[in-house]
Amino acid sequence: MQPNNNAGDVRSWLAENGWGIIDELLVRERGKFYPVIISEQSRGIFATDPLSLEVGPSLLQKGGPLVKEFLALKSEQYNKILEGLSKSMDPSLSKKKKKITEILQGIKGELKHGC
């Protein structure tokens, strides 16, 4: 399958419903990134942590220049989101801030040590 957006939601649904990720590919076309997810029921990797859900466990394992570019883009996007959320005083956003911070830390770690 090739989710055009919200690949994290697709990975989450797969894991919750017993579908593991067998492989993933990352395609860039006209400046946009598209993940391709290959899954099978009861086999493969079951993504559960925020970074694996967002980026893809197989992509994180494989790494490579395209994944590194994708991670850098995700880092920029999440930093902008976190900056906007930090300006808000709404206490209901603290869970979202925590999740984004966790994803950003994971991305930084991958860019520093992996890929």
Torsion of CA 37, 77, 49, 36, to 10 degrees: 0
CA atoms within 13 A on the CB side of 53: 16
CA 112, CA 107: separation in Å to the nearest integer?
Answer: 8
Q: What's the pLDDT score for residue 2?
A: 84
CB 22 within 8 A of CB 38: yes
DSSP 8-class letter at 91: G
Alpha-carbon span 32 to 5, nearest angstrom: 11
41: left (phi over 0), alpha (psi -120 to 50) or beta: beta
Residue 5 binned pLDDT confidence (cut-offs 50, 70, 90): confident
Bridge-partner residues for 35, per DSSP? 26
pLDDT grade, residue 97 (50/70/90)? very high
Domain borders along the chain are 7-113
% of the chain surpassing 70 pLDDT: 99
For the segment 37-84, what is each residue's pLDDT rounded down to a tens digit? 999 999 999 999 999 999 999 999 999 999 999 999 999 999 999 999
pTM over 0.85: yes
